[in-house]
Structure 1
């Protein structure tokens, strides 16, 4: 389980990503709040993240990085209104986390083959495993 600082960093990064395309839509807010609940972050603290700066911490383990990348992909597709900037931003975030560029690209290109563009976790893991071997 991530530390409190890491939880706030995870949420802050996701909020920043959601704000990137003309503000946070209700569907995005609801998704973000679900993630906050999973991370056991109170609504008060969660809401405060929309107007505060939090130190960005790259997740330590590979599995935590993949989970965060998957969350971002899900967030990008919540409102079904992606644009080229979303793809570039999520690609750059993945690179900063140390994820293989080819795997990031593959996930972003195959997500269109799945209902609601939700790449199943086992597919995502298998893509990244193949790029690490």
Structure 2
């Protein structure tokens, strides 16, 4: 990730996504807090992000777009409840990021059928790279 502002924008997008079903579950909050620590966002700034809605920054690098899509997918699954609004929104976000819809669908299916809702990194990247051929 290049800049602090990009990290803030990614976290804002994740917070907005977590709230798409109308509530923020404890597990979603915990996941967001872990991500904010990984991105080296201070606690005070993290909490302010729930109040402020910033503009979306386009992620230029495809690898980082795939990573953000996967973080959103993990967030979608972390409360154990798949809402229809979340599924619609994650597809909308992925398409707006320029990701292949078939690869996104395949990754979401792999996550749904995985016992821990996770997909190994190499599988995730290979699903998206298959679509380039």
Report whether the alignment pairs 1:24 with 2:24: yes
Checking the alignment, whether the CA contact within 8 Å between 1:27 and 1:79 is kept in structure 2 is: yes
Matches within 5 A, 1:31-46: 31-46=31-46
Structure 2 residue runs of 5 or longer lacking an equivalent are: none
Q: Equivalents in 2 of 1:3, 1:44: separation in Å? A: 18
Q: What TM-score do the two structures reach when normalised by structure 1? A: 0.95
- Output the aligned Cα RMSD: 1.0
Secondary structure of the 1:124 match is helix
Q: Which residue of 2 aligns with 1:47?
A: 47
The match for 1:70 is 70
- 1:75-99 per-residue CA deviation (whole Å, 9 max, x = no partner) reads 0010010122211110110000000
Q: What TM-score, normalized by structure 2, do the two folds share?
A: 0.95
Count the aligned residue pairs. Answer: 133
Unaligned runs of 5+ in 1: none
Structure 1 runs (4+) greater than 2 angstroms displaced = none
Q: Secondary structure of 2:40's match? A: coil
Q: Which has the higher helix share?
A: 1
Distance in 2 (alpha carbons) for counterparts of 1:2 and 1:51:
24
